[in-house]
Amino acid sequence: MALNRDFVGRASAPSSPYEVSRVKIKEFATAIGDNNPIYRDREAAQAAGHPDVIAPPTFPIAIGQDAGALLADPDLGLNFAMVVHGEQRFEYRRPIHAGDVLVGVTTVTDIRSVGRNEFITVKSEVSTVEGELVCTAYNTIVERGGAG
Amino acid sequence: MAATVRYDEVETGQQIPAAEYPVRRANLVMYAGASGDFNPIHWNERFAKTVGLPDVIAHGMFTMAQGGRFVTDWAGDPGAVIDYGVRFSSMVVVPDDDQGTVITVSGVIEEKLEDKRVVVALTAKANDSRVLSKARAVVQLS
């Protein structure tokens, strides 16, 4: 089913504040097989100039289920069983570190058909609760056969 | 942020030697738990086949993370990676055996930017297919 183009420009409410913990960063680093001490050891992170352990570049995906509410809206018409990831990008103002309390606001920036597939792009601005923009994530997902 | 690589010591066109990252089903289960992405196409072969996939496939974000690891290992400080984007061009099929598959990542310095920043272009392959395309990281060097 074609996706509802009226969703372009629509933004989510700010997500609930997410507190970044050392334990979660370590769990994520372990899951991607990365033993870098800057993800695990506060002293190693501080030696590299960070206030605490920092998160791997792709970590925001673990806290960014915020797009979920927008994408799960039945009026959009997205069939999750047919979804694959098309593109992803993270643009950082500074690294995310343990102790950050983050909120995300997600906006649908584009919906288009390519062949028989539907492509939807969302932009998520991840900021601290104090209002400092930390990272902007761009995510394009593909609904296979959606335009067929 | 303190990358261990110095801007003055890299040249456009310089290669970063390839690294191999094995991926087995257990890695996908761990990644599902850590990331919160429990889509069954990443752990349930029966379900994957009902939606037209050849077998269980890795999370695109797991593959992207391996490319990220390649760049952060090169840079020394992961905080030096200030921009990282990819397109997922092909699936990483992960069979249910003790071998799994291997994601091989290599890189090249594509461009030197101002402020001691460089663009690293990545190539990631699994099962003889390119699994990432347009994979680029901007790294702040020292």
ipTM summary value: 0.96
Residue B47 pLDDT greater than 60, yes or no: yes
Q: Does any CB of chain B come closer than 8 Å to the CB of residue A44?
A: no
Residue A18 pLDDT greater than 60, yes or no: yes
Q: Kindly report the nearest CA distance between residue B14 and chain A, in angstroms.
A: 23
Report if residue B69 sits inside a domain.
Answer: yes
Confidence of residue B1 (pLDDT cuts 50, 70, 90): low
Instruction: Go through the domains of chain A in sequence order and give each one's CATH number.
Output: 5-20+59-143 (3.10.129.10)
Element (H, E) at A9: none
Residues of B in Cβ contact (< 8 Å) with A36: 69, 72-73, 78
Alpha carbons within 13 angstroms on the beta-carbon side of residue B118 total 26
**What CATH number has the domain bearing residue B89?**
3.10.129.10
Q: Who's near B114: CB < 8 A, 6+ residues apart?
A: none
Report if residue B40 sits inside a domain.
Answer: no
Q: Kindly report the nearest CA distance between residue A32 and chain B, in angstroms.
A: 6
What is the domain range of residue B97?
7-22+60-140
Cβ–Cβ below 8 Å for B60 and A88: yes
The answer to whether residues A93 and A135 touch, using CB atoms and an 8 Å cutoff, is yes
Q: Identify the CA nearest to B38 among candidates A54, A87, A68.
A: A68
Q: What is the pLDDT of residues B66-101, one digit of tens each?
A: 999 999 999 999 999 999 999 999 999 999 998 999
Report if residue B32 sits inside a domain.
Answer: no
Residue A66 pLDDT greater than 70, yes or no: no
Q: Does any CB of chain B come closer than 8 Å to the CB of residue A95?
A: yes
Mutating which of A90, A91, A96, A123 best tests the B interface, going by the most B Cβ atoms within 10 A? A90
What pLDDT score was predicted for residue A100?
A: 97
Mean pLDDT, residues B11-18: 98
Report if residue B38 sits inside a domain.
Answer: no
Q: What is the average pLDDT score of chain B?
A: 96
In our burial notation (b when 16+ CB lie closer than 10 A, e otherwise), range A45-68 reads: beebebeebbbbbbbbbbbbbbbe
Nearest by CB to B30, which of A31, A88, A94?
A: A31
Q: Does any CB of chain B come closer than 8 Å to the CB of residue A27?
A: yes
**Higher-pLDDT residue of A119, A82:** A119
Alpha carbons within 13 angstroms on the beta-carbon side of residue A89 total 19
Residues of A in Cβ contact (< 8 Å) with B76: 48
Looking at the 3D structure of chain B, how many domains does it have? 1
Task: Show the tokens assigned to A56.
Answer: 């791997």
Report if residue B48 sits inside a domain.
Answer: no
Report if residue B117 sits inside a domain.
Answer: yes
Q: What is the pLDDT of residues A100-115, one digit of tens each?
A: 999 999 999 999 999 9
Q: How many CB atoms lie within 10 A of CB B79?
A: 25
Task: Show the tokens assigned to B136.
Answer: 């680029």
The answer to whether residues A88 and A37 touch, using CB atoms and an 8 Å cutoff, is no
Mutating which of B56, B72, B136 best tests the A interface, going by the most A Cβ atoms within 10 A? B72
Q: Kindly report the nearest CA distance between residue B2 and chain A, in angstroms.
A: 6
Q: Kindly report the nearest CA distance between residue B17 and chain A, in angstroms.
A: 18
Residues of A in Cβ contact (< 8 Å) with B62: 32
Nearest by CB to A82, which of B51, B84, B85?
A: B51
Report if residue B104 sits inside a domain.
Answer: yes
Residue A65 pLDDT greater than 60, yes or no: no
